[in-house]
Amino acid sequence: MEKTRPWWRTPEAADHLRCSTDHLKRSRDIYGGPLLAGKHYRLGRSSNSAILWDVEAIKESFHYHGDLIRRGEKALQEAK
């Protein structure tokens, strides 16, 4: 049986990720960020519902994109 990961409310997810709630919300795809609806976060039924976050998937995404940026910066430095 496959074990599912927990989905966290915004304040708990931000605390666990050591970032602000605003940073987490701005990182969503609707604002041009890497976090995808359905994969990294889930919206509730109404506009007042809490956004739920998959913290482990977000950690993977932040790591991947951070590594990508660092590799790009290194390539630019080496090209100079």
Per-residue pLDDT of the chain (80 residues; tens, 9 = 90+): 557 889 999 999 999 999 999 999 999 999 999 999 999 999 999 999 999 999 999 999 999 998 998 999 989 888 88
34 — phi, psi (to 5°)? -85, -10
Q: Which domain holds residue 62?
A: 8-79
Laid out side by side, the sheet with 52-53 consists of 8-9, 52-53, 41-42
Count: domains in the chain: 1
Q: For position 1, what pLDDT does the model report?
A: 59
The tokens describing 28, both together, are 């969503």
Asked if residue 41 belongs to a domain, the reply is yes
DSSP-derived 3-state class of residue 53: strand
Tell me, rounded to whole angstroms, the distance of Cα 32 from its chain centroid: 12
Tell me the whole-structure pTM to 2 decimals: 0.84
Q: For position 54, what pLDDT does the model report?
A: 98
Asked if residue 2 belongs to a domain, the reply is no
